[in-house]
Each structure stands twice: as C-alpha cells, then as structure tokens.
C-alpha cells in the first residue's frame, strides 16, 4: 500500500499529517499481516488509520480538522442508557478496556475495533502493536 492508495481510501486523512509521519505508518502497516490470505490490504489500511488517529490524539498539529478526526475515531464507553424515549450517555474513552494486554490499544479507536474484528476473523494471535 502506498500513501496515495491509503489517502484515496481514507480521504479524511489528506493533508493532516507531515509526509514523514504518514509514510512511516504506511511502512509499519505494510510490514504486518503478511500471513493473511485475504483482507491483508484492509488490515493494513485499518492499522494505519488507527495509528494515525492515535497520533492525532497524542500530538495534534494545528487545525480543528485534526482534532475532529481524532474525536471521530475515538471509542467512547456508554455510561448510561434509557429504553423508553431512547437515550444514551457516553463517558470517557475505553482506553483501559481490553481483551488481552497485547490488543489493548485497538480498543481506543473505531479503526482499531474494526481491525480487532478482522484479527479475530482470521484467528491471528500474532498482532504486536
């Protein structure tokens, strides 16, 4: 996967990160998921999107669009619910919730949760963040 291919699939990331940061996360993504017979490119895209979202949360460059991107990819815990007249309340990030220590960070973004589902589908226990 190239940076151009990634940005064509996820145009919301266009122009938000320095070229070196984007290239590094693409390089890291390309080094993973080689044992997938199918869905390797999807896993790589999700991995890069997940890592870039975490990067935007940790070191946001100037601009509201980056913080909006970080918030959009952030996973929130439901702290309240109401059935009649449907109501939901969201709390803090789910950063502390994890199925295993190695997969903890995947719970922190929507992209990571999609990747986690893909990993489970392929029964891939070798994910190393």
Q: With respect to residue 12, please indicate whether it lies within any of the assigned structural domains.
A: yes
Sequence-distant contacts of 31-40: CB under 8 A, at least 24 apart: 32/127, 33/124, 35/124, 35/126, 36/122, 36/124, 39/118, 39/121, 39/122
Q: Rounded to an integer, what distance in angstroms lies between the CA atom of residue 76 and that of residue 112?
A: 13
Note the pLDDT of residue 121: 80
Q: With respect to residue 128, please indicate whether it lies within any of the assigned structural domains.
A: no
Q: With respect to residue 126, please indicate whether it lies within any of the assigned structural domains.
A: no
Instruction: List the one residue out of 61, 55, 52 whose CA is nearest residue 10.
Output: 52
The mean per-residue pLDDT over the stretch 46-60 comes to: 88
Q: With respect to residue 17, please indicate whether it lies within any of the assigned structural domains.
A: yes
Q: Are 115 and 102 in contact (CB under 8 A)?
A: no
The per-residue pLDDT of the chain, averaged, comes to 75
Segment 8-21, tens digit of pLDDT: 999 989 888 889 99
The mean per-residue pLDDT over the stretch 52-58 comes to: 87
Q: With respect to residue 23, please indicate whether it lies within any of the assigned structural domains.
A: yes
Segment 66-107, tens digit of pLDDT: 555 655 555 555 455 665 666 656 554 444 333 344 456 788
Q: With respect to residue 31, please indicate whether it lies within any of the assigned structural domains.
A: yes
Q: With respect to residue 45, please indicate whether it lies within any of the assigned structural domains.
A: yes
Domain with 24 in it: 3-121
- Name the least confident of 41-45, 63-67, 115-119: 63-67
Q: With respect to residue 129, please indicate whether it lies within any of the assigned structural domains.
A: no
Domain count, the chain: 1
Q: Is pLDDT at 25 greater than 90 in this prediction?
A: yes
Q: Rounded to an integer, what distance in angstroms lies between the CA atom of residue 28 and that of residue 23?
A: 9
* Angle ∠(121,123,126) on CA atoms, nearest 5: 130
Note the pLDDT of residue 94: 42
């Amino acid at each position: 996967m190239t940076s151009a291919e990634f940005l064509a699939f996820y145009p919301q990331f266009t122009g938000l990160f320095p070229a070196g940061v984007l290239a590094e996360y693409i390089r890291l993504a390309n080094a993973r998921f080689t044992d997938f017979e199918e869905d390797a490119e999807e896993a790589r895209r999700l991995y890069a999107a997940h890592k870039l979202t975490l990067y935007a949360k940790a070191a946001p460059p100037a601009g509201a669009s980056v913080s909006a991107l970080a918030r959009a990819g952030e996973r929130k815990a439901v702290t309240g619910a109401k059935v009649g007249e449907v109501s939901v309340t969201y709390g803090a990030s789910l950063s502390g919730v994890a199925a295993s220590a190695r997969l903890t960070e995947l719970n922190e973004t929507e992209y990571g949760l999609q990747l986690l589902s893909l990993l489970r589908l392929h029964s891939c226990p070798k994910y190393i963040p």
